[in-house]
Structure 1
């Protein structure tokens, strides 16, 4: 693993995004500077997600360790519907897409991975044809952990399609942890993640077309945090056969982050997300 910060590197990343060899990969940290229209901070890390789920109150140290654990606690107390409705409430609040969202969409990447649970990238793609893959958990009637939709450009709505639709898709947006659109569905609690990851390891969380398409791709990890087991495991399953990539983070890496980057041949772009955005935009 090497740390890089040069302008040449950013221009290389832009070129690779345009020619489809590098895939944008959004994480929660993309929202660190994002507030809703009412002035609330959007969740941008595990702690802020827990506070938003729990009406601004901290939980016990055991539950504050990672948000899926806290979500599982709330689910056990109040039910699956409650935590799903909570996610929908959080991610249907009005807020503007980030500069980085808009700049990356302008690069016209064919494939985007967005592990957040909002619909902003979908809004930015509303004026062009695209295919949406929504991650699912705890489905009872089959092993597959996704559903596929095409955007009806004329009527401005999604309709469900078979996997074959991905063969000719002009643009693919993968939302593995869910989205409010076309209907609210979220992977959020420990039970959700255990189910999703179990089936992902069996090959049932990524459509077969993408398993071929993603070979030898690089990834630009933005707003991700590889110091938590859940995020590392999800990224590992989504980027199998990767060529390497770029991880944007300023400051010191944790030992877990260093190990993950070295294992996957990912270069550290040693800049804060704010600094990277200014240079990129």
Structure 2
């Protein structure tokens, strides 16, 4: 296993690996806590707005009910409250932010990785791209922000590091894909790649993905990962401490993702150690 992590470290520092982070990364963070699962987020939202019991635990349906019977602004307000605090980035967040990666994919709403990237690259040279809700930005799939949180219209150049947040995020503009209608709009077009920025499509070519804190036990997460990975390398990795479900195992095999069965914290420590001699070369 150590030889495998050494190879991941080598390719990561060479820019050949794309870290793909899920909400499970929050388990590594200390200090403030924010909702780290769809169920936890649904509980936070429905504790403040009355939602029918049968959909209270279903995040996208609960958000859709609030959007329909309150207002989209109510959904955004609840999301802002849930993710206003920023957890302290873990060692693994910091390792990834300071690595040679030129593209990170962050598939949850918190700003933890964003904070790590800001700290690692205070002089800029990076930007974030966030997915947009069609109910708020009809016809525009993404928004680009520079290191100073300003909207950027010009395409990123080849040396610009990219933080891609396909379902949006708290900072800087409260962009969230969270309701049924948000995801229906994206999933209707994602097979032909329309919602995925061209620069991401170009940057992923021949690259290998490293999935961290991700589970693939529901159709939504599998669909996003499958389409974001399209036309990349045919071999990837996923750190999965838990035994994968039957559907997860099938997805991993289909996509050429090799599971690494160890706790995230242990993997993070080993990766940081493996990167030291790579950086010293």
Q: TM-score, structure 2 length as denominator? A: 0.86
Does the C-alpha gap of structure 1 residues 278 and 48 become closer, same or farther in structure 2, counting only changes over 3 Å? farther
Please say if 1:224 is aligned against 2:220: no
CA offset at residue 23 of structure 1? 0.2
Match of 1:137 among 123, 133, 137: 133
- Equivalent positions of 1:45-60 (< 5 A) are 45-55=37-47, 60=53
Match of 2:171 among 141, 161, 181: 181
CA offset at residue 211 of structure 1? 1.5
Please say if 1:99 is aligned against 2:94: no
- Equivalent positions of 1:1-281 (< 5 A) are 6-34=1-29, 36-37=31-32, 41-55=33-47, 60=53, 62-64=55-57, 66-126=58-118, 127=122, 128-138=124-134, 143-151=139-147, 157-162=148-153, 164-243=154-233, 244-281=235-272
Counterpart in the other structure of 2:277? none
Report if the CA contact (8 A) 1:51-1:58 is conserved: no
**Where do 5+ consecutive residues of structure 2 fail to align?**
273-281
In 2: Cα distance, 1:247 partner to 1:192 partner = 27
Report if the CA contact (8 A) 2:16-2:101 is conserved: no
Deviation by residue 1:31-90 (Cα, 9 ceiling, x = unmatched): 1244553xxx422222222222233999846542x4222322333332211111111111
In 1: Cα distance, 2:241 partner to 2:158 partner = 38
Counterpart in the other structure of 2:276? none
Q: TM-score, structure 1 length as denominator? A: 0.86
In 1: Cα distance, 2:30 partner to 2:100 partner = 26
In 1: Cα distance, 2:174 partner to 2:51 partner = 26
CA offset at residue 215 of structure 1? 1.5
In 2: Cα distance, 1:160 partner to 1:34 partner = 29
CA offset at residue 158 of structure 1? 2.3
Q: Aligned pairs, how many?
A: 266
